[in-house]
Amino acid sequence: MKRLVLRFTVALLAFGFGLAIDHIVVAPVQKPRTVWKLEPVLAQPVAACPAATPVPLPAATPAQYLLFDYNPVKFNPRGTYYPLTPLPDEFAEFELFEIASDAYAGKGTGSAIVQIRTNHFQNATFMLITEKRVFFFAAQRSDAQFEYRFEGEFLSNPARLTDTRKPAVRGILTKMRDGQTVAERVVSFEVQYLGC
């Protein structure tokens, strides 16, 4: 027992001696740490050549916010949605919208686009789909002059109405330019099979 107490005492003295040396000799030699404060830096465009003509950069693709809140086992909104009747002249360039939805881990996922008659398309930057409602917003692009918003309701499960020429969804289609409403109309859409 005396040996154990002696060893423990020697260990404590060695530890205390090492700690004292560290605080007296090593600590004053170390420089204090520099704390860097990070601030955002906004880059200013600098002309590469004063005589060069500036070229506009392509518009960045806006982020997509897609919310799917339905049971994909019971409900399938996947399809290409065409207006059932011809649209008025204010919507002459609007052709269709598509919902490409799939089930992943028991939840709905996917994407959506709006296509205009010049074969250009605009991604839906915001979309909400439930078993009853559909809402999307397709932002303006550099090659398309207008933004489109649709707020509607599913009249039945679109999977049951595919290629039947019956209305699958009905709601308000809004055409905008720079956030200002240009035209608005209640529209019914039929759904056709979207391959893949």
Q: What distances in angstroms separate CA 76 from CA 35, 53, 163, one per listed residue? A: 54, 51, 14
Cα 27 from Cα 25, distance rounded (Å) = 6
Write down the pLDDT at residue 85.
92
Q: Region 76-101: what's the mean pLDDT?
A: 90
Other beta carbons less than 10 A from residue 132's beta carbon: 12
The whole-model pTM stands at: 0.65
Q: Among 3-12, 52-61, 102-111, 185-194, which range has the highest average pLDDT? A: 185-194
What integer pLDDT is reported at residue 40 of this predicted model? 63
* Residues 176, 182 contacting (CB under 8 angstroms): yes
Instruction: Say how far apart CA 31 and CA 26 lie, in whole Å.
Output: 10
Which one, of 114, 112, 117, lies nearest residue 86 by Cα?
A: 117
In this prediction, residue 7 carries a pLDDT of: 82
Residue 36 backbone phi and psi in degrees, to 5: -95, 130
Q: How many CB atoms lie within 10 A of CB 34?
A: 5
Separation of alpha carbons 63 and 143, rounded Å: 18
Q: What is the pLDDT of residue 119?
A: 65
**Cα angle, residue 164 at apex, residues 162 and 166 outer, rounded to 5°:** 100
Average pLDDT of the residues in 42-62 = 49
More confident residue, 119 or 47: 119
Residue 150 has pLDDT above 90, yes or no: yes
pLDDT tens profile 110-126: 777 777 776 677 888 88
